[in-house]
Structure 1
Amino acid sequence: MTPTYPVTIPFRTGRAAEGPLIWGQLAIWNVLRWLPPDDTTLNLLVEVPVPPGRDLPAVLDALRTLVERHDSLHTVYLDGPLQRVLPEGEVPLAVHELGDRGLTEAAAELGEALRVGWFDMAADLPLRAAVLVRDGVPQTVLLAASHMAVDGWSFAIVRGDLANLLADPPVVVEPRQQPVERGEYERSAVGQRRAAKALQYWEKHLATIPPSMIGSIRDGRPPNLDWGLIQSPALALAVNDLAARHGVPPATALLGATALQLAAYTGEGEAALRTIVSTRFRPASRGVVAAFNQNALFRLPVTGGLSAPSGGETVGQLLRRSADAALTAYAHCEYDPRDLDAMFVDVAARRGITPDGYCFFNDTRYTLADRSTMPEALPQAELAERIQAALPATKLRSPVIDRLPMHSNFFMFLMDLGDTAELMLCVEHGFLGRRGPLGFLAGLEGLVVRAALDDQVTTGALYAAAR
């Protein structure tokens, strides 16, 4: 007889709450409202293996505890905009018997099917779950969530919590700050002072940033985006070595290199990139599970001293300035995004700019270890040998992507910096001229590889070569 399985995860917390959206939620609320109806491209998916010895009731109990632990997983989002935390209900669940199917293949297929379903923010709970079993024994758990409920970093917390709950014995940690509680901080005098300081920073810089970094080139037309993807072991080797040698995080090294090349491609003496930041700066907020990302403004002059006999600063100096600029940006990224949008409309009107053409850099990796592991530098001869051997493995292609990044001329996604650097770039058609996103990505690989292999090269030489 075919076994029957439950189709929901019932939960009951006794906690009912309602309040305004927090700043990070407002940021993604605006994006989701801007996207076409029923768009699901921003839904997220994670997979959590089930350790041996855990039966289905234990897995379902872990899922129930997980949902009850984080308010954002049982919250609906209403016009206002408001968040309403439901004290009880049921999260959709599917249990799939694998039979003879391979786990990896089935998880990929079933996970994508779980992810692409639309969430009605006002009516549906923002989480769906699936358990894959073989002969009734749980193998892995799939979780799909609306971006309204989680960002990448939050989903990593959720995944880690579920892994703890699936352990034998389960590891249960007290819940951290919930989104409604975070809202109380944002409305406090301290939170409002922090927001005011951030907006002053943005207004000061938006008044003088080159128009090519922030202004629309569409003349009112809908977005017309070109996409490129690079997968490069050589780029990964070069970025990680530069980071190790100069004491900066690998993503920061890549951010600095991207800024240098973007400035060169646009003929500017600086670059300004809007980065996506997990705003977990206070102890209370480090465990918040919510849409909690906000935008920071990273501004980096790159051509200072180019006319000097030396041809400008060293790569190490550029990367250390990049780290300083990133920290400054992070210190000014907590604010109500509606206030920023209104302020930029005023600034753009004074400057004669159409405000819809930012340049973005988004580190989308949401395995916590991806961001916290610092690489080790290699001996120069070994590095050169390994990069030369890896270069033929570089893959460049133009994927067909059904996504519409909001307010952007240029949007770089960092997806992997482990053994292979994987970057995806979309640009408004014509923004990078004839070279387009594939030209930019190939050029970025060349720039970073040269910077890693030639310890005498200057930023001036790299800028000139990119022009």
Structure 2
Amino acid sequence: MPLPPTTVHFSSGRAAEGPLIWAQAAIWDVFRWLPPDDSTLNLLVQCPVPTGRGLGDVAEALRHLVERHDSLHTLYVDTPEGPRQRVVGEGDIPLRVHDIGDHGTDEAAADLGEQLRRPWFDIGADLPLRAAVLVRDDEPVAVLLAASHMAVDGTSLAIVRGDLLNLLQDPPVVVDPGQQPLQRVDYETSPVGLRREAKALSYWSKHLTGVPTRMIESIRDGRPPNLDWGQIQSPALALATNSLAARFGVPPATVLLAGITLQLAAYTGGTDALLRMIVATRFRPASRALVGAFNQNALFRLAFDIHPEQRDARPAGSAEETVGELLHRASDAALLAYAHCEYDPGKLEALFADVAADRGITPDGYCFFNDTRFSAQDQSPPALPSDLPEAIHAALPATKLRAPVIDRTPKGANFFMFLTDLGDTAELMLCAEHGFLGERGPLGFLAGLERLIVRATLDEHATTRLLYREATA
């Protein structure tokens, strides 16, 4: 039962205003595209409270947390000069205290967290953070933070959670805060930042000029989006993906990137495919701990030396690409994508428009991949069984496929894959514009992806050509 609401008062001494950084401009465009009261992009994080800390200690930790990170006390406003970020130097963050009684902490957090996350943030008038403390027997046990995506991305939440855990210690470790968003502006307008932007836009231009139209063309003919959704939960896919990653020394997500791109090419009848990856651009030491909206798109493209009309005539042999070679090529492609993802998103959209005009197509129909496992870098890879084939075959019957009803419409997407878990179970969610994947749709694609990666794991003679051929069957 909620107790009377209160607030956390902060006074950072930093009141300032400036333009949006590149990544903020990207999410600003998404916010402008969504309905005005949409709250689907609000984010939530839970943080445990150490035993022995009282409500006063929690409130003090929250005050320090907000004062450390400008994005948590910033308004995002439209002006005649364009969108601006306005850092508020002093104010109050809403705080609620909930007595959870005999309920379990995680159970109560799931229910109350949604109540905290769902209300809309008016990013031009309201500070983009809300907080709640869960108490049992008058002792705080957990803190919930809900934030607007305009103020934070997923990696930011991991940084914020780590900071709050530290601030709740007695005593906390003294750590300087990361770069503030307005400090990032200085880099993006510097000669170094502008050279990096020019290099990134040149990379995108080169690939967009030759990529199959199916990868960038809208198929809606002016109609509103009509998306089909599918979800897979598969222990077998997790075993196969993690084992391939360990065998060939690549990140597990790279295995999925290779499989998704190969199957996407096969499904759309092409010999290459591209994905717009959602990545956090914290590449420089100065920005490593930046809290803010810091995601941008990276272009991941793989081409396959396969001609569908001739594939059965091409002899198998040692010259064919092995699974290991494919994964190492995918790893190189991912690194190239990461190296070319810092740019003004407005300039990229202008580039898309120019390419589309030259090619005589309607843009705004893209394929996306978003790895939402924000703390994946801090997790150890799961242990693999000694008899992998037996374990995978035993796990296959546990696969769950379903078609959920999701009230969410990703901007400009023909295809949007979300990776949410890759521990003991692989969990992926896919939405696709109706008809983009043919009759098989998202569920068929997800089931096919499981088959493809399991085959790549268990068949030591598997090649890219073989996997492509089976994906088209």
Could you state the TM-score of these two structures normalised by the residue count of structure 1? 0.97
CA displacement, residues 312-358 of structure 1 (integer Å, 9 cap, x when unaligned): 31111100000000000111100000000011101100001111111
Distance 1:144 1:82 in 2: 22
Q: What's the CA shift for 1:308?
A: 4.3
Task: Tell me whether 62-71 or 169-178 shows the greater mean CA deviation.
Answer: 169-178
- Residue 26 of structure 1 and its aligned partner are, at CA, apart by 0.5
Which residue identity does 1:401 align to in structure 2?
A: I
> How big is the shift at 1:374?
4.5
> Which secondary structure does the structure 2 equivalent of 1:81 belong to?
strand
Which whole-Å CA distance do the structure 2 matches of 1:279 and 1:240 have between them? 25
2:269 alignment counterpart: 267
Equivalent positions of 1:396-407 (< 5 A) are: 396-407=401-412
How far did 1:103 drift?
Answer: 1.9
CA RMSD of aligned residues (A): 1.5
How far apart are 1:304 and its partner, in Å?
Answer: 4.7
Contact 2:382 2:423 in 1 (8 A): no
Q: 2:333 aligns with which of 325, 337, 344?
A: 325
Render the CA deviation track for 1:349-391: whole Å, top value 9, x for unaligned.
0001111111001101112445x64556655xx1111111111
**Number of the residue aligned with 1:33:** 32
| In the alignment, structure 1 residue 170 sits paired with structure 2 residue 177 | no
Amino acid at match of 1:309: A
Which amino acid is 2:363 matched to?
A: P
**Could you say which residue in structure 2 is the equivalent of 1:69?**
68
Tell me the alpha carbon deviations over residues 120-149 of structure 1, each in whole angstroms, 9 at most, x when there is no partner. Answer: 010010110000001210010000000000
**Equivalent pair of 1:244/1:377 in contact (CA under 8 Å):** no
> Counterpart in 1 of 2:435?
430
1:154 and 1:383 map into 2 onto residues whose CA distance is: 36
Structure 1 CA distance, aligned partners of 2:384 and 2:108? 39
Residues 1:410 and 2:415 are matched in the alignment: yes
The alignment partner of 2:210 has SS state of coil
Aligned residue identity for 1:332:
H
Output the CA distance in 2 between the equivalents of 1:4 and 1:265.
55
Aligned to 1:439: 444
Q: What stretches of structure 2 of length at least 5 have no aligned partner?
A: none
How many residues of Structure 1 are paired with residues of Structure 2 in the alignment?
A: 463
The letter for the 2-side match of 1:32 is F
> 1:241–1:376: 8 Å Cα contact kept in structure 2?
no
How does the TM-score come out when normalised to structure 2?
0.95
Equivalent positions of 1:445-464 (< 5 A) are 445-464=450-469
- The verdict on how the C-alpha distance between 1:376 and 1:99 changes in structure 2, with shifts beyond 3 A counting, is closer
Moved more, 102-111 or 179-188: 102-111
**Correspondence for 2:304 among 289, 302, 305:** 302
Using the aligned pairs only, state the percent identity.
69
Q: Is the 8 A contact 1:245 1:377 kept in 2?
A: no
Q: Are the counterparts in 2 of residues 78 and 121 from structure 1 also a CA contact under 8 Å?
A: yes
**Structure 1 equivalent of residue 54 of structure 2:** 55
Q: Displacement, 1:3?
A: 10
In the TM superposition, what is the alpha-carbon distance from 1:14 to its structure 2 partner?
Answer: 0.9
In structure 1, the partner of 2:389 is 384
CA distance in 2, matches of 1:4, 1:431: 50
Match of 1:144 among 146, 167, 171: 146
Q: Write the letter of the residue equivalent to 1:195.
A: E
In structure 2, C-alpha distance between the alignment counterparts of 1:282 and 1:272, rounded to whole Å: 26
Q: Which amino acid aligns with 1:327?
A: L
Q: Distance in 2 between matches of 1:63 and 1:179?
A: 20
Amino acid at match of 1:40: S
Work out which of the residue numbers 204, 229, 232 in structure 1 matches 2:231: 229
Tell me the secondary structure at the aligned position of residue 182 of structure 1: helix
Task: Give the 5 Å matches for 1:229-268.
Answer: 229-268=231-270
Please, which runs of 5 or more residues in structure 1 have no aligned partner?
A: none
Determine the structure 2 residue equivalent to 1:350: 358
Match of 2:116 in 1: 114
Amino acid corresponding to residue 58 of structure 2 in structure 1: V
Code of the aligned partner of 1:390? A
AA paired with 1:71?
A: D
Q: Is the Cα contact below 8 Å between 2:152 and 2:293 reproduced in 1?
A: yes
Code of the aligned partner of 1:450: R
> Is 1:243–1:375's contact at 8 Å kept on the other side of the alignment?
no
CA distance in 2, matches of 1:283, 1:146: 25
What CA deviation, in whole Å up to 9, does each residue of 1:392-443 have, x standing for no partner? Answer: 1111000110111011100000000000000000000000010000000000
Are 1:23 and 2:22 an aligned pair?
A: yes
Match of 1:8 in 2: 7
Q: Is the 8 A contact 1:229 1:438 kept in 2?
A: yes
Q: Partners of 2:208 and 2:296 in 1: how far apart?
A: 17
Q: Could you tell me which amino acid in structure 2 is paired with residue 143 of structure 1?
A: L
- In the TM superposition, what is the alpha-carbon distance from 1:168 to its structure 2 partner? 2.4
Q: CA deviation at 1:237?
A: 0.3
State the Cα distance separating 1:171 from its structure 2 match.
Answer: 2.4
